[in-house]
Structure 1
Amino acid sequence: MKIAIAGGTGFIGKALTSYLLKKKHMIYILTRDISNKEDQQNLKFIEWLSPKTTPEEHLEGIDAFINLSGESLNSGRWTKQRKKRIVSSRVDTTKEVVRILSSLKSKPKVLLNTSAIGIYGTSLGESFSESSSTVGSDFLATTVSVWEQEALKATKFGIRTCLLRLGVVLGQGGGALNRMIMPYQFFIGGTIGSGKQWLSWIHIDDVIKSIEFLLYTEAISGPINLTAPNPVQMKEFGRTISEVLKRPHWLPVPSFALKLLLGQMSILVLEGQRVLPKKLQDHGYSFSYVTAKDALGNIKEI
């Protein structure tokens, strides 16, 4: 396949690109700056989101477009300015993706557009699948909702569009895991907040393999939860980290302290949702990691 990837230099993008290159696909990475990037066999870098750039001229004939673009949610306090960047890094880039698709004479068969389980809002008691009509009212939920509406405009061109509602991605070298395990590495790990909040996680390998699965599974479109089949509550997840690292799980982190430290961003660790990957399972995807213990045990660098 000829596959365009926006956001190909991030945590998921690097892993996905490496995997797809091993499968002999031709990959086009869209990036803002190509000055320090060299094309390789089956890998070409294309400049976009800069004045006068026309990436569509290099993408005629692609089979799939994967949009992973978006500023990290957990790299800083959510100031007004940062919220604007979080929204624009998702919505504006998706608008540009749709513009590119509209200009291609030969349309790709599929658009896989990153989204997030944050759209469901937070809940201690409810479970969410792709058929859930619930949309939260917090900042994350409203951002994801607008983001998805932009991506769905690709359906006007007859392009199968998948909204990849990602959970918390566990993998070495990036994502949220490094911050989550750090207290345990210093022997001060413990329950965060009430510990009852749900963590809907997925191993990076399953992210990559489910994306590959979606490239070929023409029967799937719309929202797709990229989460493992067994979400865990934060207290259990902390104990699992403790067991895998052979470190104590003893020092609780009260909610008010995190709210003071992180502000509104504390929602990422103090609240959550129990999200199930019903569409993937219904269509026969087999997860490599179904328990948090298996996933954490596989991540060697922790």
Structure 2
Amino acid sequence: MKIVIAGGSGFIGQSLSQLLLTEGHNVVILTRKDRKSSEKVEYVRWLEEGFSPEKAIRNADAFINLAGVSINDGRWTKSHQKQIYESRMKATDELLRIISLLPAKPSVLVNASAIGIYPPSKIAIYTENSLETASDFLGVTVQEWENKAKQVEKYSVRAVFMRFGVVLGNKEGALPLMVMPYRLFVGGKVGSGDQWVSWVHVNDVVRAILFAIKNSHLSGPINVTAPTPLLMNEFGKSIGSVLHRPHWLPVPPFAMKLVLGEKSALVLEGQQVIPKVLQENGFEFKFPTLRSALEDLL
């Protein structure tokens, strides 16, 4: 297939590109930087005046939208929140414009999303059928992002929303920061410890994206989380066990709020999210348990 990726140079985008190339697909990466294309990877400039990416893209089978300022970078000031929100809306608007102008439409737009659309809860179990939505910054951003991406359906293009959980990688994502205290022998529970962590290995994330592209009957939201969410305290114990480090020094909530501000909700609150759509459609997780994921990554 010929697959166009917006946000291809990011954490998930890099792993996704590698998977697609390994499987023999052709990759087009939308970029703001001038990069040299190769036989298998074509770089196309976008989101800048003077560039018309729609003229360079022909006969694409799928579009993948991972573009947007990372929610993990920096403190959530009002200006940073504005960047997180506006970068997603602007990129999605541009993808809709590009697709509208293509004579041959792609079959699908796979749009990034997040489990932050579900309200924090210690007792609820969320699947793609859950209708409750969070009213905080991340919840509203995700809802409006999905609603915008859904507009691609007016061009008879299938829309899929990949609701990512806490994505684990060995160099990027949440894991390096979570692991650091254990490497220094000061790891312990974060906050109350009884908040849910719905995690997923980055390898399973990119495999799930390709799975959604290949299975043409799938549309709408897909929870991209491992089938075994854990409480934060158990998550930390698993890190300590794999690294052979103690799990003993708690980090109180006020300390996290002091350091991270509003972003502290990402670690102090959580949701128990189940990947029902992936499971019911035969997707096999390569790393279904946290132990297997940590042993691979660490």
- Corresponding residue for 2:227? 229
Q: 1:52-97 deviations in whole A, cap 9, x for unaligned?
A: 2110111121000011112111211111110100001111111111
Matched, 1:2 2:12: no
Q: 1:132-158 deviations in whole A, cap 9, x for unaligned?
A: 001111110000001001100001111
2:82 to 77, 81, 84: 84
- Corresponding residue for 1:41? 39
- Corresponding residue for 1:185? 183
Runs of 4+ with deviation above 3 angstroms:
none
The CA distance in 1 between the partners of 2:59 and 2:262, in whole Å, is 43
In structure 1, stretches of 5+ residues that fail to align are none
- Corresponding residue for 2:278? 280
- Corresponding residue for 1:256? 254
SS of the residue corresponding to residue 142 of structure 1 reads helix
The CA distance in 2 between the partners of 1:263 and 1:254, in whole Å, is 14
Figure out how many residues of one structure are paired with residues of the other and give that number: 298
AA in 2 matched with 1:210? A
1:146 to 144, 147, 155: 144
The CA distance in 2 between the partners of 1:278 and 1:68, in whole Å, is 22
- Corresponding residue for 1:59? 57
- Corresponding residue for 1:17? 17
The CA distance in 1 between the partners of 2:247 and 2:255, in whole Å, is 18
1:97 to 83, 91, 95: 95
In structure 2, stretches of 5+ residues that fail to align are none
AA in 2 matched with 1:116? A
AA in 2 matched with 1:186? L
AA in 1 matched with 2:147? Q
The CA distance in 2 between the partners of 1:158 and 1:66, in whole Å, is 16
- RMSD (Å) for aligned C-alpha atoms: 0.8
The CA distance in 1 between the partners of 2:16 and 2:137, in whole Å, is 28
AA in 1 matched with 2:274? L
- Corresponding residue for 2:194? 196
Shift, 1:205, TM fit: 1.1
SS of the residue corresponding to residue 280 of structure 1 reads helix
SS of the residue corresponding to residue 161 of structure 2 reads strand
AA in 2 matched with 1:176? A
AA in 2 matched with 1:29? I
| TM-score normalised to structure 2 length | 0.99
1:120 to 94, 118, 128: 118
| TM-score normalised to structure 1 length | 0.97
The CA distance in 2 between the partners of 1:183 and 1:70, in whole Å, is 29
The CA distance in 2 between the partners of 1:12 and 1:19, in whole Å, is 11
